[in-house]
Structure 1
C-alpha cells in the first residue's frame, strides 16, 4: 500500500499536466471557434505557465 501512495505522490502532477495537454490538443484539432478554442487555450496554457513558473523561480540556496 505504501508503494502505491509513493507512486501517486510522485506522478500525480505530471499526469495531470499531461492530461491537460492531451485535452487541449484534441480540442484545438476538432473545435471550430468559440468554446472549443477557449478550452484549447486554457488547457494548453496551464502546463506552459507551470513550466515557466518553475523554470524562472529561483532555486533555494544551500
Structure 2
C-alpha cells in the first residue's frame, strides 16, 4: 500500500474563478429593473409612471445589445479551420 503524495498547501484557484456575487450582480440588477418597470406600468398609465416604465423596460435590452456588440467585436472571425 502506497500513500498518495501530499498536495501542496499553496494550490491557488484559477484566476477565472470569481465569487458568485461578482458574477450575478448585473443580471440581478437588470432583473430587478425589469420587475420595477413592469410594476410601474401596472401602477399608472399616465405621467411619471409611464416614463418610469419605459425607461426601466428599455434599459435591459439596450445593455444586452451593448454587451453582445462588445463580445462580437472581441472574437475574431475566422472562416474555415486552421491552415
Give the structure-2-normalised TM-score. 0.62
**Which one has a bigger Cα radius of gyration?**
2
Cross-structure match for 1:52: 65
Corresponding pairs, count: 58
Structure 1 runs, 4 residues or longer, greater than 3 Å off: none
Return 10-19 or 51-60, whichever deviates more.
51-60
**Highest RCO, 1 vs 2 (Cα 8 Å, sep ≥ 6):** 1
- Unaligned runs of 5+ residues in structure 2 are 1-17, 77-83
Query: What TM-score comes out, normalization by structure 1 length?
Result: 0.80
1:7: Cα distance to partner?
1.4
Instruction: Kindly indicate which of the two structures has a greater share of residues assigned to helix.
Output: 1
In structure 1, stretches of 5+ residues that fail to align are none
